[in-house]
Chain A
Amino acid sequence: MNIMNLLFNLINGISLGSVYAIIALGYTMVYGIAKMLNFAHGDVIMVGAYICFFTMSRLSSLFEPGSLAAMAVPSLAGVVLAMIVCTVLGVVIERLAYKPLRQAPSLAVLITAIGVSYFLQNSALLLWGSEPRIFTSVVGSGSIQLFDGQLTITYTSIVTMLTCVVIMVVLTLFTSGTKMGKAMRACSEDKGAAMLMGIDVNRTISMTFAIGSALAAIAGALLCSTYPTLMPTTGSLPGIRAFTAAVFGGIGSIPGAMLGGILLGLIETFTKSYITTNLYDAVVFGVLIVVLLVKPTGLLGKQIREKV
């Protein structure tokens, strides 16, 4: 195991983990506020990636190849459009599928979420077909060489890690500083009391879905920039892994989702390169089981008190 190899894996792991972390934020925020597991979240990622893909391929022909505009405009437009579409999609899903079940048992909501997940996958299959599309990275395929070419870091991983940091900072400022952010924290603790303090709980939940889904769009673009095969089922497995990351870090906790995501990415990458490429999911879930046995609330999760 040489040091360059280790560094390379470390950077790839953090980069992959950043994508998981961004997805996990969507799971954890929705869980914290609506107390439900939105299993359709992974498929929102897929929709975001498709929107980004189509926008990029439509726009790239309009610009002169190789120019700066040809590199920046289609990707930026793709990501922004994907964010807009996913935000609307997330809010619509919440309104139509989950809001009528606000008082229903959590199992009913969970089953509905799985239903929405299949609905999105099959709609994508119908609309865009089953053949895999090859996604071009939103940041271009370049890379930087360090230590006389011994260490290669792709632009994609740099941008992924930076995006993750920016999202984390903005989200922290948002939850601590803004009215809506504090309303979210209040709702996650006690919806009834929040309502009686004049907080519009329905609006707060919609906002949570909107933010989570916008993040899913970014995650979709970044995920497919790293793993360029795009299919209607692309979102489901990373979605499940990101859900694991959210539980790993302590579901409901925003820093927990970040930590869980990055750790998961590291574990996955290191298992793939040093142990076996076939068993990485088993190792990831094995670690999850061990963590939950030792600390059932996850790494940064808080003890939840049941209210009578």
Chain B
Amino acid sequence: MAKEFQKGKMVPVPSHSIVPERDVDQMPVLECSHLGIDFGGLTAVNELNLTIGRTEIAGLIGPNGAGKTTVFNLLTKVYQPTRGTILLNGKDTHGMSTTQVNRAGIARTFQNIRLFTNLTVEDNVRIGLHNQVRYPMWDGVFRLPQFWKQEKVAHEKAMELLSIFHMEDLAQHQAGSLPYGAQRRLEIVRALATNPRLLLLDEPAAGMNPSETHDLMENIIKIRDTFHIAIMLIEHDMNLVMGICEGICVLNFGEVIAKGTSEEIQRNPKVIEAYLGSGKKGG
């Protein structure tokens, strides 16, 4: 794993891997090497080398326009990478579609919420569960016994997932009618319903007040501990990132400028420069 880090040219290699101790002996959930994408002549992401441990909470930070969401789009194959490889549970995802990557174990939320607003809260979660339930179509149309059995299982599972955020009471509400914070939480529940190995959260705390953010931090840790999955998040709220992320990767102009633990990142001069500008320019 440490070898992976050294491949990146721009990366100041930390003295140790940022994968937490407990995950070191296991196969990482995600390994990217030399990942990059060009849009026409513009290189949006370049030479991204990243390893995420089985149960790691990782952070991806950087100034606006650094290419953070593009990285998520590459991992979920919304964009096909121009260069490099992505190994998910050791398996190359080359040529996979978004749907296939989801079934292989990556789920995500969105920076701008993209719930199925006309469906109920429960149905949103159930759509996430769909990749796990199977019954012939006619069972659903004619409401045969198998259908009711599956319905009951799906209902219970959906309720169990909603209970993480204490949202059981909202199950029959229309998703679009929920308050903003609840919609963000529902997106996380929906993503969890697809049974991922790696959960990508794109600015989960955006628009939340400090107390909501605090709850969210606790819940992210709770999700990791309950489901034993890895979580990678993009976030601008540094209290959240520094508070819960075990490994942090900093992007600027599509390149990784630093990688390490929260203390290492906070002390890194390149990171400070990227966020605050260099002192020489008088900024």
The distance in angstroms between the C-alpha atoms of A304 and B127, with both chains bound, is 22
Does A197 count as interface, using CB distance less than 8 angstroms?
Answer: yes
Closest CB in chain A relative to B147 CB, distance in Å: 7
Q: When the two chains form their complex, are residues A185 and B118 in contact, meaning their CB atoms are under 8 A apart?
A: yes
* In the complex, per-residue mask of A129-163: 1 if CB is within 8 Å of any chain B CB, else 0: 00000000000000000000000000000000000
Assess the A182–B127 pair: CB atoms within 8 A: yes
Interface size on B, residues (CB 8 A): 36
The 8 Å CB contact of B102, one of A170, A178, A185, A198, is A198
Question: In chain B, residues 91-106, which have Cβ atoms closer than 8 Å to a Cβ of chain A?
Answer: 97-99, 102-103
Interface residue count on the A side (C-beta < 8 Å): 27
A177-192 Cβ-contact flags toward B at 8 Å (1 or 0):
1111111011001101
Max chain A C-beta neighbours (<10 A), residue from B116, B117, B139, B143? B116
Tell me, yes or no, whether A7 is within 8 Å of chain B by CB. Answer: no
Q: Which of B103, B108, B116 contacts A189 (CB 8 A)?
A: B116
Of B116, B123, B131, the residue contacting A198 (CB under 8 A) is: B131
Is residue A201 within 8 Å, beta carbon to beta carbon, of the partner chain? yes
Q: Which residues of A contact B99 (CB under 8 A)?
A: 195, 198-201
Closest residue on chain B to residue A174 by CB atoms: B141
Q: Which residues of A contact B128 (CB under 8 A)?
A: 197-198
A193 within 8 A of B: yes
A194 CB within 8 Å of chain B: yes
Query: Is A196 an interface residue, CB under 8 A from the partner?
Result: yes
Q: Is A35 an interface residue (CB 8 A)?
A: no
Kindly state whether residue B10 has any CB partner on chain A within 8 Å. Answer: no
Taking CB atoms, residues of chain A closer than 8 Å to B133 are: 179
B184 at the interface (CB under 8 A from A): no
Task: Give the residues in chain A near B108, CB-CB below 8 Å.
Answer: 196
Contact B107 A196, beta carbon cutoff 8 Å: yes
For A186, give its contact among B76, B97, B116 (CB under 8 Å): B116
B114 shortest CB reach to chain A, Å: 4
- Among B133, B141, B142, the one with the most A-chain Cβ atoms within 10 Å of its Cβ is B141
Q: How far is the CA of A197 from the CA of B262 in the complex (A)?
A: 31
B190 at the interface (CB under 8 A from A): yes
Most buried by B among A173, A174, A193, A200: A193
Known contacts A192-B78, A196-B108, A197-B128; is-contact A302 B118 (Cβ 8 Å): yes
Shortest CB distance A299–B (Å): 17
A189-241 at interface with B (beta carbon < 8 Å): 189-190, 192-201
Determine if B190 and A189 form an interchain contact, defined as CB atoms under 8 angstroms apart. Answer: no
Residues of the A chain whose Cβ atoms lie less than 8 Å from the Cβ of B110: 193
- Asked if B143 contacts A197 (CB within 8 A), the reply is no
Cβ-based interface call for A308 (8 A): yes
Query: Quick one: which of B76, B107, B123, B135 contacts A182, CB cutoff 8 A?
Result: B123
A308: chain B residues within 8 A (beta carbon): 112
B130 touches A183 (CB 8 A): yes
Task: Tell me the bound Cα distance from A222 to B271 in angstroms.
Answer: 71
Please give me the residue from chain A that is nearest to B125 by CB atom.
A197
Establish whether residues B141 and A197, one from each chain, have CB atoms under 8 Å apart when the complex forms: no
Chain B CB count within 10 A is highest, among A180, A183, A198, A307, for A198
Q: Please, which residues of chain B bring their CB within 8 A of the CB of A194?
A: 116, 127
B252 within 8 A of A: no
Contact of B127 among A178, A192, A197, A307 (CB under 8 A): A197
Contact B143 A177 (CB under 8 A): yes
| Residues 286-308 of A contacting B (Cβ, < 8 Å) | 302, 307-308
Question: For residue B90, which residues in chain A have a CB less than 8 angstroms away from its CB?
Answer: none
Which chain B residues border A170 with CB–CB below 8 Å? 141
Chain A: minimal CB distance from B162 (Å): 16
- Minimum CB–CB distance from B188 to chain A (whole Å) comes to 13
Please name the residue on chain A nearest to B151 by beta carbon. A177
Query: Which residues of the other chain, B, contact A186 by a CB distance below 8 angstroms?
Result: 116, 119, 127
Please report the C-alpha to C-alpha distance between residue A181 and residue B141 in the assembled complex, in whole angstroms. Answer: 10
Q: Which residues of B contact A193 (CB under 8 A)?
A: 110, 114-116
Q: How far, in angstroms, from A201 to B77 measured CA to CA in the complex?
A: 14
Report the bound CA distance from A53 to B178 in whole Å.
53
B103 proximity list for chain A (CB < 8 A): 198
* CB of A1, distance to nearest CB on chain B (Å): 43
**CB–CB A196/B98 < 8 A:** yes
Given A170-B141, A186-B127, A302-B118, output 19 extra A-B contacts at Cβ < 8 Å.
A173-B142, A177-B141, A178-B139, A179-B133, A179-B140, A182-B130, A189-B116, A189-B117, A190-B116, A192-B114, A193-B116, A195-B102, A196-B98, A196-B102, A197-B102, A197-B107, A198-B102, A199-B127, A307-B114
Closest A-B pairs by Cβ, 5 of them: A178-B140, A198-B131, A198-B102, A195-B98, A193-B114
Q: List 28 A-B residue pairs with CB atoms under 8 Å apart, sorted by A's residue number.
A: A173-B140, A174-B141, A177-B143, A179-B130, A179-B135, A179-B137, A179-B140, A182-B123, A183-B127, A186-B116, A189-B116, A189-B118, A190-B116, A192-B98, A193-B110, A193-B116, A194-B127, A195-B78, A195-B98, A196-B98, A196-B108, A197-B127, A197-B130, A197-B191, A199-B99, A199-B130, A199-B131, A200-B99
